[in-house]
Amino acid sequence: MRIVIAPDKFKGSLDASGVARSLAIGVHSVDPGIVIDRVPVADGGEGTLDAAIGAGFEPRTVAVSGPTGEPLDAVFAVRGTEAVIEMAAASGLAVLPGGELDALRATSRGTGQLVTAALDAGCTRIVLGVGGSANTDGGAGLLSALGVRLLDRDDAELADGGAALLGLARVDATALDPRLAATEFVLASDVDNPLLGSTGAAAVFGPQKGATPADVVTLEGALTRFTTLLGAALGAAVAGAVSAPGAGAAGGVGFAALAVLGAARRPGVEVVLELTGFAERLAGADLVITGEGSLDEQSLGGKTPVGVAEAAARGGVPVYAVCGRTTLSPTQLRDAGFASTFALTDYEADVAVCMTNASALLERIGADIATRITA
């Protein structure tokens, strides 16, 4: 018997590796002879870097400018000439000093510095996982780190952050790193919002990053000015990228990646499964166990468990889902490709206890799964 355990994180409780480890302990408590392949995965956001490192990528640490300018050490991963960058590591909400939101000043500069580090490492293919960002700067910080100069009317460099772009007078892209032209970029993102407008980066995601209604107006005007002047410097491709699906991802870093880096946008879980060699690891498997903290309507839009189920279906392997809780009906769960679903709340009604005691509960679920499949 061979099982592939490929979960995402249980946010607030365990990372994906911890989830996989707990399930494996439970399975082996019933039958130590079951062969288990643990494949922690993610959907392109937080956890993508861990998935890459678990798949054999080498972690590298570099000093970068954090989301509000403070120095911070951020990790990216390299395997051969391929790099994986998790934006959250350098420009994310999780690394804001004291966790204090700063919607107007937060920058993507640190992510651009990670791109430079990857280029310095000889990488010619770079995966950008862009979930969990703190900024709404249209990728201005990222581009600045890669050589683009953003100048005010006195030809002085602008300060970082989305709001500062209101003072932008000219974009000078002559010093853009020439290595970018020979580099393949993949934008791992499920966000399909454009950059501007009522469904854009500022309006939809700005409030999640601390933007007040007045801040949203400021950021929308700043991003509009940025796109106009960047287009004047770089040409028509910029205008087309403004309304492209995914341009609004990560506070507009999606826009910069599409418009300037020539990135190809792909579903995050698809990219991560490819990085981990998931299709190859399915060979000979009798069962796949996947999951995430909450299986809900958002999960059906391409989150990790559904992506894993689709890949397993192509390999003809049945899938069990494990979650903290689910709001989906049995029909929805079956239609999503899950032969059976196990929720922590089936074992412990108190959600707070589920959060703090997730590891032990997952061990119980692992044991119950093993009992079922070996009966």
Identify the pLDDT of residue 69. Answer: 96
Backbone φ and ψ for 346, nearest 5 degrees, come out as: -75, -20
Identify the pLDDT of residue 20. Answer: 97
Give the pLDDT mean for 72-87.
98
Residue 314: is its pLDDT beyond 90? yes
Identify the pLDDT of residue 301. Answer: 82
In this structure, which CATH number among 3.30.930.10, 3.40.50.880, 3.40.50.300, 3.90.1510.10 belongs to the domain 48-268? Answer: 3.90.1510.10
Assign 237 a pLDDT band (cuts: 50, 70, 90): confident
| Better-predicted residue by pLDDT, 94 or 237 | 94
Tens-digit pLDDT profile for residues 272-288: 999 999 999 999 999 99
Identify the pLDDT of residue 72. Answer: 97
Residue 45: is its pLDDT beyond 90? no
Backbone φ and ψ for 266, nearest 5 degrees, come out as: -135, 150
Tens-digit pLDDT profile for residues 338-357: 999 999 999 999 999 999 99
Superfamily of the domain at 2-41+276-374: Glycerate kinase; domain 1 (3.40.50.10350)
User: What DSSP letter does each residue of 89-151 carry, written as one string?
Assistant: HHHBGGGSGGG---TTT---HHHHHHHHHHHHTT-SEEEEE-TTB---STTHHHHHHTT-EEE
Identify the pLDDT of residue 298. Answer: 87
Identify the pLDDT of residue 142. Answer: 98
Residue 302: is its pLDDT beyond 90? no
Task: Calculate the average pLDDT of the chain.
Answer: 96
- pLDDT over 70 for what percent of the chain? 100
Assign 190 a pLDDT band (cuts: 50, 70, 90): confident
Residue 236: is its pLDDT beyond 90? no
**What tokens appear for 119 in the block?**
């280029």
User: What DSSP letter does each residue of 209-248 carry, written as one string?
Assistant: GT--HHHHHHHHHHHHHHHHHHHHHH-HHHHHHHTSTTTT
Strand partners, 325: 294
Identify the pLDDT of residue 375. Answer: 85
- pLDDT over 90 for what percent of the chain? 94
Tens-digit pLDDT profile for residues 173-185: 999 999 999 999 9
Identify the pLDDT of residue 344. Answer: 97
Give the pLDDT mean for 329-333.
96
The rounded distance, in Å, linking the Cα atoms of 59 and 99 is 25
Residue 46: is its pLDDT beyond 90? no
Q: Which amino acid is at 149?
A: R
Task: List the chain domain ranges.
Answer: 2-41+276-374, 48-268
The rounded distance, in Å, linking the Cα atoms of 106 and 135 is 5
Q: Are strands 35-38 and 2-7 parallel, antiparallel or unpaired?
A: parallel
Give the pLDDT mean for 306-332.
96
